[in-house]
Amino acid sequence: MPAKPKLRGYAMELPGLVTVDPANEELAVRLAEMGGDAFLEELWTVELLSALPVGSRGADRERFLSRAIIMNDIVVGAPYQAVYCLEDASALAVAYLKSDLEGLTWAHLEEKADRILMEEVLSEEEAAALAVQLERMAPISVFDWEEREQKEGDFIHFVMLAVDATKRGTGRFRKLMTPFFDYADEHGIPCYLETYSDSLQALYEHVGFEVCHVFESPDFAITERAMVRKPQK
């Protein structure tokens, strides 16, 4: 991961979490591997990778690409203090405070991550196929809705969350999320995320999120559920 110095102090200092340094390539790779493996279960990732050319299909290539997708999110997010993990790297959050993006939006950073994927990771045939699939999936890939909803004021947006498969059911998820919630409640700001999974929707509802928008497409069986956790007094 290329080093990029932080331009100023950042607001969210979260007790109990490691803020991933842009220059810590070893930790970034470890987290990308864990997160990428977890996201092979994510229905959005499954739909995207289903468009791979026949010669690129298979568990090894799909795992490599899922890890690359997460790695690119880490690469573009870490310079803005948008990548956090537990001290043992068993849980990962790519999440940002809007004001920490210094006037940018996550959509801007995601475009950069997509360019890295298309230009540096994928073959020409893979890039062409996934570009078409991404365009088809646009109606269920609405990741800037929170910007429209929260035109003024700060918020936290969880871009992705992952817990090591071998550590699930051990309280890692709550341990990861609690510092974010404490910060949000203290500052009176909402938290946003998206999911495609019934089980994850139930998990997020259990910790205070509620569905506020559903994005659908007749071309796909999966639906995007946009969720908000309002600050709690």
Q: What is the pLDDT of residues 62-115, one digit of tens each?
A: 999 999 999 999 999 999 999 999 999 999 999 999 999 988 999 999 999 999
Q: Evaluate whether 140 touches 224 at the Cβ level (below 8 Å).
A: yes
Encode pLDDT of 164-199 as tens digits.
Answer: 999 988 999 999 999 999 999 999 999 999 999 999
How is residue 20 annotated by DSSP?
P
Strand, coil or helix: what is 32? helix
**Average pLDDT value for the chain:** 93
DSSP 42-101: -HHHHHHHTTS-GGG-SHHHHHHHHHHHHHHHHHHHGGGT-EEEETTS-EEEEEEEGGGG
Structure token pair of residue 121: 């990771």
**Above 80 in pLDDT, residue 7?**
no
Q: What pLDDT was estimated at residue 68? A: 97
Q: How confident is the model at residue 8 (pLDDT cuts 50, 70, 90)?
A: very low
CA 119 to chain centre: 21
Encode pLDDT of 123-176 as tens digits.
Answer: 999 999 999 999 999 999 999 999 888 888 999 999 999 999 999 889 999 999
Q: How many CA atoms lie within 13 A of 53 on its CB side?
A: 11
Q: What pLDDT was estimated at residue 197? A: 95
CA 80 to chain centre: 14
Q: Evaluate whether 117 touches 69 at the Cβ level (below 8 Å).
A: yes
Q: What is the pTM (predicted TM-score) of this model?
A: 0.92
Count H helices and E strands in the chain, helices first.
8, 7
Nearest to 114 by CA among 78, 76, 59: 76
**Above 90 in pLDDT, residue 11?**
no
**Above 90 in pLDDT, residue 12?**
no
